[in-house]
Amino acid sequence: PEEQAVRLELVGAAQQWLGWKESDESFKPIIDLYNSHQPLAQGYVVKYTDQWCAAFVSAAAIQCGMTDIIPTECGCQRQIELWQAIGCWEENDNYMPLPGDYIYYAWDELFSFGDCTGWADHVGIVVGTAGPFIKVIEGNRDDMVTYRIILRGNWQIRGYGLPDYAAK
């Protein structure tokens, strides 16, 4: 139960920003939180005009003090490389994710029956699953923080970052 509580703490941190958006500038504190973390990934300060999905999932980790188990990054593909480097990457698109897992997509990946190995261009945090569906919270989806429901095994799922919540 302790690991589940830590997972839900991260999900809750992301959910506190639900509905925050670019159009009314309510998303800016998420970017500011990301930029306040040192050292800054790649030494890059995220601008309000940048794509911010990876900054969003990183900000959730920063908010919860979990940057020791969740690599912070402003780019999806670079964040995947960091998960791989610490041995916490799940390549199997049919993996059954748990709340708090990070899910990556490659939207440009053409429909295929093989493993999605395209360039990751979006990320979210798994909220939960129901049957074959995964509920995900994402930043910078339609320029806001909102949910997505996606089928497990969808060909555009690039893979999963698996934080070591048990270590917390």
Sheet architecture: strand order including 122-130: 89-90, 157-161, 102-105, 122-130, 133-141, 144-151
Asked if pLDDT for residue 63 goes beyond 90, the answer is yes
pLDDT in tens, 35-54: 999 999 889 999 999 999 99
Asked if pLDDT for residue 126 goes beyond 80, the answer is yes
Residue 3, C-beta contacts closer than 8 angstroms, at least 6 positions apart: 165, 166, 168
Structure confidence at residue 111 as a pLDDT band (50, 70, 90): low
pLDDT in tens, 17-36: 999 999 999 999 999 999 99
Q: What is the mean pLDDT of residues 82-88?
A: 97
3-state secondary structure of 4: helix
> H or E element: which one contains 54?
helix 53-63
Choose among 113, 101, 99, 103: nearest CA to 141: 103
Q: What is the mean pLDDT of residues 64-76?
A: 97
**Amino acid found at 21:** K
Task: Look at 112 and 81; give whichever has higher pLDDT.
Answer: 81
**CA-angle at 9, arms to 3 and 10, nearest 5°:** 100
Burial of 142 (C-beta count, 10 Å sphere; 0-12/13-18/19+): exposed
**CA-angle at 22, arms to 28 and 51, nearest 5°:** 80
How confident is the model at residue 7, as a pLDDT?
Answer: 98
pTM of the predicted protein model? 0.95
Q: What is the mean pLDDT of residues 130-147?
A: 97
> H or E element: which one contains 102?
strand 102-105
How confident is the model at residue 114, as a pLDDT?
Answer: 62
Structure confidence at residue 109 as a pLDDT band (50, 70, 90): low
Beta strands at 102-105 and 89-90: parallel, antiparallel or unpaired: unpaired
Asked if pLDDT for residue 112 goes beyond 70, the answer is no
